[in-house]
Amino acid sequence: MSDVYICQLPAEVQKYAAEVLNETEESRQNAFKEIKEWAASNQYLHVRTEEKYILPFLRCCKFNIERTKEKMKNFYVMRRERSEWFTNRNPNLSQIQQLVKNGSCLILKKTHENHLVVIIRPTVHDPKRHGMDDVLKCAKMILDIGVMEEELSQVYGVIVIIDMANVSFAHARQLSISRIKHMVYAWQNYHCRPKKMEFVNAPAYINVVLDVFKSFMSEKLRKRVTVRYDGIASVVNIVDKAILPCDYGGEDGSLEELGRYWNEKLRSYTDWFVEDEQYKADLVK
């Protein structure tokens, strides 16, 4: 894989990136050089230094070099500490395939106003068969591929739709306070920018759980959270109907079809996941 990034974004996207993210050809090259030097002097982090993997972090931080270093450090330390999410990410495992096909986490095939659209359904799995950490591992596998394949998402960010339909006490029990804290920390240190977090099909008591989530969020992320109580119909108010599955009143296939699509896509990245697992901080330091 080539280490060198060559920008092929449309002119209007490059203009937006320059105005909003401070990204220009010059700022990119200067930033790549500085981040690579930093990674070389902090080898215990085992940072991926290919430019295509550095760039999403820079864009998240609007090319603020020190913020980028901090986010990357947090990310690679997290990959070590959260081994339940970042080891044995084998898309051929039956538990991973079941969760993907069931649609625990899926990314729509088309963007909405250049935003990647992620649908998380944390209540469709059977809590007796799958732990929440398996669900989160699956979600991060899909997110990694989605952000890597759709470069527009690195510039414009991600819309996250969290469908709380049919939440049960057994599901709620899987959301311990420590796990919620780790989930929020992951969102805030991942290589993508959540522009909106929309909770849909929310039960009346969702604010009890949401207050715990919000207590660990930055003020910026808290402001991007919306809770909708009016069922499936509300989803078409978030993204274009044309790109939504029919399960949400849309026109682009079904969740079942999307699950099969992502199952096959993840399997095509089997070797990549094996190779990627080595990039995590050492236990020391």
Do 124 and 263 share a domain, yes or no? yes
Which domain-ending residue is among 81, 104, 128? 81
Q: Is the pLDDT of residue 186 over 70?
A: yes
- pLDDT at position 137 is 96
User: Pick from 193, 96, 118: which is nearest to 163 by CA?
Assistant: 118
Using one digit for the tens of pLDDT, what is the confidence trace for 271-280?
999 999 999 9
Do the domain assignments include residue 280? no
Integer Cα distance of 19 and 13 in angstroms: 10
Integer Cα distance of 94 and 278 in angstroms: 23
Ranking 198-202, 229-233, 268-272 by mean pLDDT, the lowest is 229-233
Do 151 and 234 share a domain, yes or no? yes
- pLDDT at position 284 is 64
Q: Is the pLDDT of residue 1 over 70?
A: no
> Between these two residues, 221 and 271, which has the higher pLDDT value?
271
Hey, what are 13's tokens?
């996207």
Range of the domain at 33: 11-81
- pLDDT at position 172 is 80
Using one digit for the tens of pLDDT, what is the confidence trace for 40-66?
999 999 999 999 999 999 999 999 999
pTM: 0.93
Do the domain assignments include residue 72? yes
> Between these two residues, 151 and 170, which has the higher pLDDT value?
151
Which domain-ending residue is among 26, 55, 81? 81
Do 37 and 72 share a domain, yes or no? yes
Integer Cα distance of 253 and 258 in angstroms: 7
Q: How confident is the model at residue 282 (pLDDT cuts 50, 70, 90)?
A: very high
Sign of the alpha-carbon dihedral angle for 96, 261, 2, 28: negative
Do 46 and 171 share a domain, yes or no? no
Do 175 and 243 share a domain, yes or no? yes
Q: Please tell me what DSSP assigns to residue 49.
A: -
- pLDDT at position 285 is 47
Using one digit for the tens of pLDDT, what is the confidence trace for 103-124?
999 999 999 999 999 999 988 9
Ranking 4-13, 18-27, 161-170, 268-277 by mean pLDDT, the lowest is 161-170
Do the domain assignments include residue 260? yes
User: Pick from 178, 173, 92, 85: which is nearest to 128 by CA?
Assistant: 173
What is the DSSP secondary-structure string of 104-126?
A: SEEE-SS-BTTBEEEEE-TTSS-
> Between these two residues, 139 and 173, which has the higher pLDDT value?
139
Do 132 and 223 share a domain, yes or no? yes
- pLDDT at position 93 is 95
- pLDDT at position 118 is 96
Burial of 59 (0-12, 13-18, 19+ CB in 10 A): buried
- pLDDT at position 254 is 96
Q: How many domains does the chain divide into?
A: 2
Using one digit for the tens of pLDDT, what is the confidence trace for 11-50?
999 999 999 999 999 999 999 999 999 999 999 999 999 9
Which domain-ending residue is among 39, 56, 81? 81
Which CATH number goes with the domain that contains 50?
1.10.8
Average pLDDT over residues 58-83: 97
Integer Cα distance of 17 and 21 in angstroms: 5
Integer Cα distance of 91 and 78 in angstroms: 21
Do the domain assignments include residue 53? yes
The total of other beta-carbon atoms located within 10 Å of residue 223's CB is 9
Do the domain assignments include residue 281? no
Integer Cα distance of 252 and 126 in angstroms: 27
Do the domain assignments include residue 233? yes
Do 48 and 148 share a domain, yes or no? no
Average pLDDT over residues 176-198: 92
Integer Cα distance of 46 and 159 in angstroms: 29
Q: Is the pLDDT of residue 206 over 90?
A: no
Average pLDDT, the chain: 93
- pLDDT at position 2 is 64
Do 70 and 210 share a domain, yes or no? no
Q: Is the pLDDT of residue 94 over 70?
A: yes
Do 59 and 127 share a domain, yes or no? no
Which CATH number goes with the domain that contains 258?
3.40.525.10
User: Pick from 197, 90, 89, 190: which is nearest to 148 by CA?
Assistant: 190
Do 146 and 224 share a domain, yes or no? yes
Q: Please tell me what DSSP assigns to residue 234.
A: G
What are the two backbone dihedrals, phi and then psi, of residue 112, each rounded to the nearest 5 degrees? -115, 110
Do 74 and 97 share a domain, yes or no? no
